[in-house]
Amino acid sequence: MLRVGSLNDDKARAILERGRSELPRLEAAAKNGTLKSKDFDAEIYGCRTVKDALWKTQSARCCFCERDYESSHSTVEHFRPKTSARRSADQIDPGYWWLAYDPDNLLFACVVCNNLKRDWFPLAPRSPVLSPDRKKGSRRERPMLLDPRRDDPAAHLTYVWWDRLQSYAIAALSDRGLKTIEILGLDREALVWLRRRYYHYYLAPIIASVEEASKQRPLLPSPVRELAGPDATLGFFTRCVLLHRGFLPHAVAKAARA
């Protein structure tokens, strides 16, 4: 999973600002219980300018699975779902309609992750539920899904060596990490094999050459540092592998901020 920064694109923010005028209509439909996904204007939150701006902010990668994708083949993801919020298999609450055009709620995600997430948005037990008039209190709501804008994936997710696969597999460090893996299918077969190929054919040979050159492993030399950088495809995966291979945690953390 990525850590995603704010959307710093004036054109995209100006387009999203237009969504404000939609909110009274959405509020009325929500109060009547008639709100449908077609009530939201995808020409605003899903337009090319907004999608491309999110895509660039995330260096062309899906915020959840870290793969890189073309902008035109992917989707704008609402972290808090706009129409309905599925808390469990048998509980669906109204969605967060007032965040449909909020740049802090929008992310760039691949079609597969987007389809798996759908309207899932479980909360921690006894968590308050965010409501439109409590927008400023969003930190009080405790989502189970990790938020790429607020959460550090390293606190909840890692990769561990898996003998059976002869590669690294995603693992949870917290209940939220586990729920995120489950809902987004971050252990799905296609990703397992992608990471395996990346590790064996690309990462492992580079790491091996670096380890040979520096038995001390004090800092990350440039080729490895770039693969672990904030804009790198599978950068978080790479950082977890480097930690496991004995590179100094502060050097790996520094690469993530480079």
Residues at the contact surface with Zn ion, assessed by CB under 5 A: 62, 64-65, 110, 113
CA-to-CA distance for 136 and 152, rounded, in angstroms?
A: 21
Closest to Zn ion by CB, 22 or 147: 147
- Six-digit token string for 37: 């996904």
Closest to Zn ion by CB, 110 or 170: 110
How far is residue 148 CA from its own chain's centroid? Answer: 4
Closest to Zn ion by CB, 22 or 66: 66
Rounded to the nearest whole angstrom, what is the least distance from the CB of residue 61 to Zn ion in the complex?
8
DSSP H helices, 39-162, are 42-45, 48-57, 111-117
Rounded to the nearest whole angstrom, what is the least distance from the CB of residue 194 to Zn ion in the complex?
11
Of 137, 181, 176, the closest CA to residue 160 belongs to 181
Q: 11: number of CA atoms within 13 Å, CB side? A: 8
Closest to Zn ion by CB, 71 or 127: 71
Rounded to the nearest whole angstrom, what is the least distance from the CB of residue 2 to Zn ion in the complex?
10
Closest to Zn ion by CB, 61 or 80: 61
Rounded to the nearest whole angstrom, what is the least distance from the CB of residue 254 to Zn ion in the complex?
27
> Which residues have CB under 8 Å from 218's CB, separation 6+?
248, 251
Rounded to the nearest whole angstrom, what is the least distance from the CB of residue 32 to Zn ion in the complex?
35
